[in-house]
Structure 1
Amino acid sequence: MQFVVLFTVGFLTSGFSLPMPREAGEISEKQWKEAQNYLNNFYASDTEKELSNFEDKIKKMQRFFGLSITGVMNPNIMEIMKQPRCGLPDIAPSGFTLFPGPRKWTSKIVTYRIAIYTNQLRHSRVDSIVYRAFNMWSRETTLYFKRVPRGPADIIIRFARRAHGDNYPFDGPGGTLAHAFTPGPDIGGDAHFDDDEKWTEGYKSGINLPFVVTHELGHSLGLSHSSNPNAVMYPTYNKNDPWDFQLSQDDIRRIQQLYGKKRNVWDIYYREENTPS
């Protein structure tokens, strides 16, 4: 009996761990823990719990990124998981949706304010980057954007580190770059950027701030992530993305579904002048 007891204790304290589940594929135990966190953050719907079916979540991710749907982890999925990305989930971003119904602004004029700047770029450069990002969306929609120097605004923009008061803390360099909330009152529409990232402008090493700002403001206007790798609203950041980027046709189509297409003033004038009375 003494032998059995000693054997049992030795068995339990020898570093024995349960076998990896089938859906983990051939990745390591450390990678599997990282993958579980990623899947819980970006592919768990409201009704799913922390210990829900990871095979189903893997399939959702594979479907979103246009991969073979196997429900099993592989090196391609791990590579995607390692890429810097937006902090919003790719499905059911309920934590960033603050009210039911259509996620859009009802006013044609949307105000914004930059509340906290990064020290990595001059304030005037950040002002210019944000202005150009708003203008990129404005050219394709019926919306107009107005900057206010102080006080309330529809969209508040700020740079922050780690925990910053919205229950969605940043994680330091790499990983999550930024996040934004869908249109609505209070924090609705606000966009936050991780100031632990190396923000740059132009052809330099680091994260292209104009690209990330344009992406996050798409969320501030009500857009979810796109599975089109050419879209600004694609969730992951690729250092090979062009610095002189433009909105893709997918981005334009989706924003116009929310707000309509901007009509050319001269076209309106011509139509009114030439319409039979």
Structure 2
Amino acid sequence: MRNTTILMLMLTACLVLCSGAPATPTMDQETAEEYLKQFFSEHKTPSKRLESGRLMKMQDFKTVLKKMQEFFGLQVTGKLDTNTIEVMQKPRCGVSDVSNYEHFSGKPKWDKQTITYRITEYTPDLSQGEVDTTIAQAFKLYSDVTPLVFKQIYSGTADIMILFKARNHGDFYPFDGQGGVLAHAMSPGQGEGGDAHFDEDEKWTLSSAGMNLLLVAAHEFGHALGLDHSQDPSALMYPTYKYVNTHGYQLPMDDKRGIQALYGAGQPPKPQPQPQPNPPERCNRDLVFDAATSIRGELYFFKNNYYWKKSTLLKGIPQTLIKTTWPSITSVDAAYEIRSKRISFFFKGQNYWGVTATAILPGYPKHISQFGFPASVTNIDAAVHIGSTRRTLFFTGEKYWSFNENTREMEAGFPKPIRIDFPGIGFKVDAAFENYGFLYFSDGARQTEYIYRTKSVNRMLLNYAWLNCY
């Protein structure tokens, strides 16, 4: 008999299509009893729950029903009224309910700080990179507030084994098809302890559609680390699933208190002295640009923590620290301008800013997922806006994406290989910009002057030539 507790997270997307008033929910007493036996029994393991089919005494039924009503903040009547039935019919986790943060009986926990995990079977709903990134983000919610360290391994047996599989999957707790039970996990322990399984019959996503993998995984990993359910509706460990915006998501306070009660609080990192950046050498034939763009008729070239501005109104090519013009931005991976809107965008990692020539616009930074990039894209190498088509081209690795600025959507069929659609410029792009009808693509120190209309190379240059170096 296993020494861990299986936790079945019954999460479904609930969409009601109706005209007029919704129908009054109904439920017979036998079904209500099954709900109470499953979720409000004193015993939490499936093998110790009350036997199905055995009717409760009316007095016991009312007592347990009142307990359930009190837990969910309903009017405590002891009667199977409409509000009570509505709560019973909501999708939820399959473990008994407790109040605020709680731990399992005996407070099982991992007795080490570094916990390994391995994903043995992936879902086809997302790329393998997206799954890896999202699972790592779910674990990071806990490592951010505790001393725990999570390490992914790719062979052998990990502390937490993770898989996506439908129906029977080898643990005597088969999934039930789309809807209903979405995932389950074990409490900490040897063998299968901590393992987490996800129902492959569900549609796994990184958005509000389908089942959001980050939220479900983070809930399951709470169980795998020793957390039981919470009565706090704002808690991640609340029994029923509710989508929240996951951009910048952090562990809610109730869950934070619970996990820190088991493992303690993480120590904030000691501030490291910031070295003073060395200005890059302007007239170096091997100069590689980080990014380049036009802003209000002037060209900006970015390298490390600095930028050079080339303008017909200036003598020479002044070099300036980026943060002196745009505070909070220290370096730039990619940049592009939409001249018609007099706005430019700077990218660094998974964040981007809207800027003018002298300031950062309000409301930034934002996450690049707003452009439609999957979680597997962690930085942008280069970007350039094509005014004639109202498309912005983003370059990542050896591929590129096309973003429609009119519809604010990424175009279908992307990413595509750079070398096929832009013959002659190479396999990758470090920086890109438009000037006097030509596109300029930099790959290392070498640059291609490109005619976009005919998809042909006009001439080859070196980056440093733009900085009055010959």
Q: TM-score, normalised by structure 2?
A: 0.46
- Matching residue of 1:265: 269
| 1:40 and 2:37 matched | yes
Which of 151, 158, 162 is matched with 2:156 structurally? 151
Q: Is the 8 A contact 1:180 1:219 kept in 2?
A: yes
Deviations 1:114-150 (A, max 9, x none): 1121111111111111000001110001111111101
Aligned to 1:18: none
- Equivalent of 1:255 in 246, 252, 259: 259
Q: Which sits farther off after the overlay, 154-163 or 64-73?
A: 64-73
Residue 126 and residue 161 in structure 1: after superposition, are their counterparts in 2 closer, same or farther (change >3 A)?
same
User: Which structure: greater helix fraction?
Assistant: 1
The CA distance in 2 between the partners of 1:162 and 1:60, in whole Å, is 33
Question: 1:31, CA displacement in angstroms?
Answer: 4.4
Candidates 80, 89, 97, aligned match of 1:90: 97
- Report the equivalent of 1:197: 202
1:227 to 206, 210, 231: 231
Query: Does structure 1 residue 76 correspond to structure 2 residue 73?
Result: no
- Structure 1 pair 215/75, CA: closer, same or farther in 2 (3 Å)? same
Whole-angstrom CA distance in 2 between matches of 1:31 and 1:161: 30
Pick aligned residue for 2:246 from 243, 247, 261: 243
SS of 2:32's partner is: helix
Q: Which residue of 2 aligns with 1:49?
A: 50
Q: Structure 1: how far apart are the matches of 2:149 and 2:180?
A: 32
Alpha-carbon distance in structure 2 between the residues aligned to 1:254 and 1:230: 14
**Taking structure 1 as reference, are residues 200 and 264 closer, same or farther at Cα in structure 2, changes over 3 Å only?**
same
Amino acid in structure 2 at the alignment position of 1:260: G
The answer to whether the Cα contact below 8 Å between 1:83 and 1:238 also exists between their aligned partners in 2 is no
**Inter-CA distance 129–257: structure 2 relative to 1 (3 Å threshold):** same
Q: Give percent identity, aligned residues only.
A: 47
Q: 2 CA distance for matches of 1:58 and 1:45?
A: 13
- Whether the 8 Å contact between 1:87 and 1:177 is mirrored in structure 2 is no
Deviates more, 1:157-166 or 1:144-153: 157-166
| Greater CA drift, 30-39 or 245-254 | 30-39
CA distance in 1, matches of 2:170, 2:119: 17
| Deviating more after overlay: 247-256 vs 58-67 | 58-67
The equivalent residue for 2:116 is 111
Unaligned runs of 5+ in 1: 1-25, 92-96, 268-277
- Counterpart CA distance in 2 for 1:208 and 1:262 is 27
CA distance in 1, matches of 2:132, 2:148: 19
**How far apart in 2 are the matches of 1:115 and 1:254?**
29
Structure 1 residue 63 displacement after superposition: 2.6
The 8 Å contact of residues 85 and 177 in structure 1, kept in 2 or not, is answered as no
**Residue identity opposite 2:121 in structure 1:** I
Please state how far the C-alpha of 1:89 moved relative to its aligned partner. 2.9
What secondary structure is seen at the aligned counterpart in 2 of 1:37? helix
User: Are residues 207 and 83 of structure 1, via their aligned partners in 2, closer, same or farther at CA, if it must alter by over 3 Å?
Assistant: farther
- Larger gyration radius, structure 1 or structure 2: 2
Q: Per the alignment, do residues 161 and 48 of structure 1 end up closer, same or farther by CA in structure 2, a change over 3 Å counting? A: closer
What whole-Å deviation, never above 9, does each CA across 1:200-258 have from its counterpart, x for those lacking one? 1124x21111101011100000000011110111110124x333343111111111000
Residue 67 (structure 1) aligned with residue 70 (structure 2): no
- Partners in 2 of 1:123 and 1:54 — Cα distance? 48
Partner SS for 1:134:
helix
Which is worse superposed, 206-215 or 173-182? 173-182
Rounded to whole Å, the distance in 2 between the matches of 1:252 and 1:260 is 10
Quote how far apart the aligned CAs of 1:59 are: 2.5
Give yes or no for contact 2:25–2:86 (8 Å, CA) kept in 1.
no
Q: 1:178 to 1:86 in 2, by over 3 A?
A: farther
Amino acid at match of 2:163: R
TM-score (normalizing by structure 1)? 0.76
